[in-house]
Chains A and B, each alone.
Chain A
């Protein structure tokens, strides 16, 4: 049940009306938990049990860690949570990757391996809710959180449908206090909720889905085709160098609009039910460095990596070498989280390399220069370019495809005979970026905050209607659903 579909509109409208008409907080939470399970079952009912198991594991582990009197017992329960959560994730997401990698390695060493892969379907959202439940046990272990006494609240925290399948990855200490307190309709700030949802809808349905076919054309297949076992088209080698630039630019825009669009809709939907989710994107395409970029992009995930991987490894403490190793390990894990393929691991590693260079440059050039004017524009362009280039690893179906795309951006290599379509969209994409700049500067918000109620409603109705007229109707799943 994608957020931008008719089915979700009906589901949400019914949930919204019933939820606010229920008299008690407890009844509302029970209703939303059942609704969230139905929402999850709308993807694939067979994996509902997995969600329940994940909930039970961390509910028990959290309580046991808190109740344990020795650090050793606490550690044992924390490891139980980590191993079971990552075990489930590993089985469903990485099993075939490890089998294939082992087979490749054995072949390389001269053996003849007879390893066959398993027919495993990746449950939607598993990477998100396993990490979310994991943070609960880890925060209790590190003494940052007391376990909730209410299983109802914990189940609600795990299953809350707006953020269940693609985040933001919420922390228990951000969400549970909200669940404990009765939410009041009179405190819902309606305008930002509606704006978040509409902007997210526009990003996904009108921009991302519009550009997706051209990016898919270059890379040879859509994620949907691949997830259904298809192989797609011939790939980057058959396209000319200009096509690589088109694929890079559209890929960058599509990727942002797809994922931040989902997050915005999740925030808007949760807000209409009285819950605050965390901001997942803060205009990353105006970041002036790679370090700044990752503090603005998929914030709930990058902060997870920072708090539960990078800091425990030692963070920036110690030597430059130590810092570099910590960053590279953290980002290799980030790559692996995004997908079970060497292209993703390489993407993560390369992103880590950029961060290491950035961190070392900051250490050696003590004098900080404020980025303004043309220097700021150049910094933004370079940051975007680096993100765009690594995007070839993200979207390429193989290392060869990715490498071909990267070289083509630098006009290196033999160009193919074909050119991807959609060049007529370059100007609209540029206009969108200018619109994004207006949002970055807060100009739009200043306008809609000041409008009288009737004018806001009329403008909203007009923008809503324009969005559904200009939406693409091929219902492409959100890119992040495959993770």
Chain B
């Protein structure tokens, strides 16, 4: 070489060898490193707010704080959130001589596993819980690759949920419908890992991804915001109204609050306008639901390419888990759930728990009338009240005591 270095090199290599470390000193350093990791993870885990963000965090927190007050919890998606009014539910039951104190654990956009995780969390709080209403949600074995490591996709992967998701993926194999057996991440199409993993069976890949998510959760990866909120956060004033109503908030009330705050336009106005603009499509969908053929909708809100599974066994497993804890279990298929109605009938026939089916516009036209809807899947406050009253009647008929 004719020239010496012209760029400053990083000081990471010594001119002379350093003293070799003995085994004992290496061991002390390894133990020190592990102790540092464990101490920080344990501290962060202890102070972190429950994960999920916004509405979900607030609801989980509120339920944990006041678990002893409730004997009934309705765990579900945004449909349960907007259709089920705890105060109305308790009042109607009281009229029939049944004491009840209920909580709405409706979580917008929740998946089957997320609901199951939330339900287990509610049961784990102990207290006076006597019954669980569980909204049926289709099972999507695969995690959406485009959102794979968003905290929302990770947080529910505790050991129990990860094991269930892996077991279910392997048990079900390629038995999927309405989408592909496995949806590739388009960004990985020509990458080496993409090429290698493509040779794996779909169920194995899905199980492996759940395992990675499980590890991500155990190490609290990406939970910094929850830790910060746990240390410095305050309850969000906009969520207080929802918590005062034990988890329920009508869309009209939420929109009024946003208007008062000057947050206009917003996601709710967007959804409302979209619904009004496409009302003919909505009416056509409702008509189609009256037939026997499966109807697939709602792809505005999830990746339509993902395959989903209609599996009686996992629902039975969930119900058995609840009953093993000494609680009553009711499965509810909500209005606006426009999925496979033949499968809903199978659930009624094959499960040994009460199944309340409301995704039947010919039987419940009042829950499908566009005038009672805020958007395609969610009701006005009046419609929610009517639904809650109907739910009470059906639960009593199904044996609720």
Contact = CB atoms under 8 A, between A and B. Distances in A.
A279 B3 contact: no
Nearest to B29: A457
Contacts of B39: 462, 465
Interface stretch (A35-43, A98-106, A333-341, A379-387): A35-43
Contacts of A38: 192
Contacts of B237: none
Given A186-B17, A189-B14, A458 B3 contact: no
Contact of B33 (A1, A41, A461, A471): A461
Contact of A45 (B35, B149, B191): B191
Contacts of B222: 468-469, 471-473
B20 interface: yes
Q: How large is the interface on B (under 10, 10 to 19, 20 to 34, 35 or more residues)?
A: 35 or more
A193 interface: yes
A171 B293 CA distance: 67
Interface in A165-200: 168, 170-171, 173-174, 176-177, 183-184, 186-189, 192-193, 196
A23 interface: no
Contacts of B14: 187-189
B29 A173 contact: no
A474 B33 contact: no
Interface string B64-84: 000000000000000000000
B1 A44 contact: no
A226 interface: no
Question: Does more than half of chain A's interface fall in helix, strand or loop, or is it mixed?
Answer: helix
Contacts of B21: 453
A66 B5 CA distance: 20
A472 B222 CA distance: 5
Interface in B209-226: 212, 215-216, 219-224
Contact of A42 (B4, B36, B193): B193
A183 B14 CA distance: 11
Contacts of B199: none
Nearest to A264: B10
B5 A454 contact: no
Contacts of B3: 139, 144-145, 173
B296 to A, nearest CB: 26
A457 B36 contact: yes
Contacts of B16: 187
A454 B190 contact: no
B195 A45 contact: yes
Contact of B193 (A7, A171, A176, A274): A7
A275 B12 CA distance: 8
Contact of B227 (A271, A456, A457, A470): A470
A299 B8 CA distance: 9
A471 B224 contact: yes
A475 interface: yes
A453 B36 CA distance: 13
Contact of B37 (A145, A276, A461): A461
A177 B8 contact: no
A468 to B, nearest CB: 5
A168 B20 CA distance: 31
Contacts of A464: 33, 36-37
Nearest to A176: B1
Contact of B190 (A6, A44, A183, A228): A44
A143 B2 contact: yes
A462 B37 contact: yes
A469 B154 CA distance: 13
A459 B41 CA distance: 13
A278 B9 CA distance: 4
Q: How large is the interface on A (under 10, 10 to 19, 20 to 34, 35 or more residues)?
A: 35 or more
Contacts of B187: 228
A461 B30 CA distance: 9
Given A303-B6, A471-B221, A466 B11 contact: no
A131 to B, nearest CB: 13
A196 B12 contact: yes
A222 interface: no
A467 to B, nearest CB: 9
B211 to A, nearest CB: 11
A145 B1 contact: yes
B17 A6 contact: no
Contacts of A470: 224, 227
Nearest to B26: A453
A469 B12 contact: no
A171 B7 contact: yes
A267 B32 CA distance: 25
Contacts of A453: 21, 25, 28-29, 32
Contact of A475 (B20, B149, B224): B149
Residue with the highest number of chain A CB atoms closer than 10 Å, among B20, B30, B32, B186: B32
Given A462-B37, A465-B36, A187 B13 contact: yes
Contacts of A206: 224
A300 interface: yes
B40 interface: yes
B149 to A, nearest CB: 4
Contacts of A282: 8
Interface in A281-304: 282, 299-300, 303
Contacts of A268: 12
Residue with the highest number of chain A CB atoms closer than 10 Å, among B9, B15, B25: B9
Contact of A457 (B13, B32, B149, B220): B32
A188 B12 contact: yes
Contacts of B12: 188-189, 192-193, 196, 267-268, 270-271, 276
B260 interface: no
Contact of A459 (B5, B20, B36, B193): B36
A268 B13 CA distance: 11
A455 interface: yes
A44 B191 CA distance: 4
Interface in B57-115: none
Contacts of A46: 190
Contact of B40 (A196, A267, A465): A465
A277 interface: yes
Contact of A278 (B7, B32, B38): B7
A31 interface: no
A220 B141 CA distance: 34
B44 interface: yes
Contacts of A436: none
A296 to B, nearest CB: 11
Contacts of B227: 469-470
A456 B35 CA distance: 12
Contacts of B154: 473
- 7 A-B pairs with least C-beta separation: A461-B36, A271-B12, A470-B224, A473-B222, A186-B17, A457-B32, A462-B36
Given A42-B192, A457-B29, A462-B39, 11 more contacts: A45-B190, A173-B3, A187-B15, A192-B11, A206-B224, A270-B12, A303-B6, A461-B35, A462-B40, A473-B150, A475-B149
Interface of A: 1, 6-7, 38, 41-46, 139, 143-146, 168, 170-171, 173-174, 176-177, 183-184, 186-189, 192-193, 196, 206, 228, 267-268, 270-271, 274-279, 282, 299-300, 303, 307, 453-466, 468-475
10 contacts: A1-B193, A41-B191, A192-B11, A206-B224, A276-B11, A300-B7, A465-B40, A468-B221, A473-B149, A473-B222
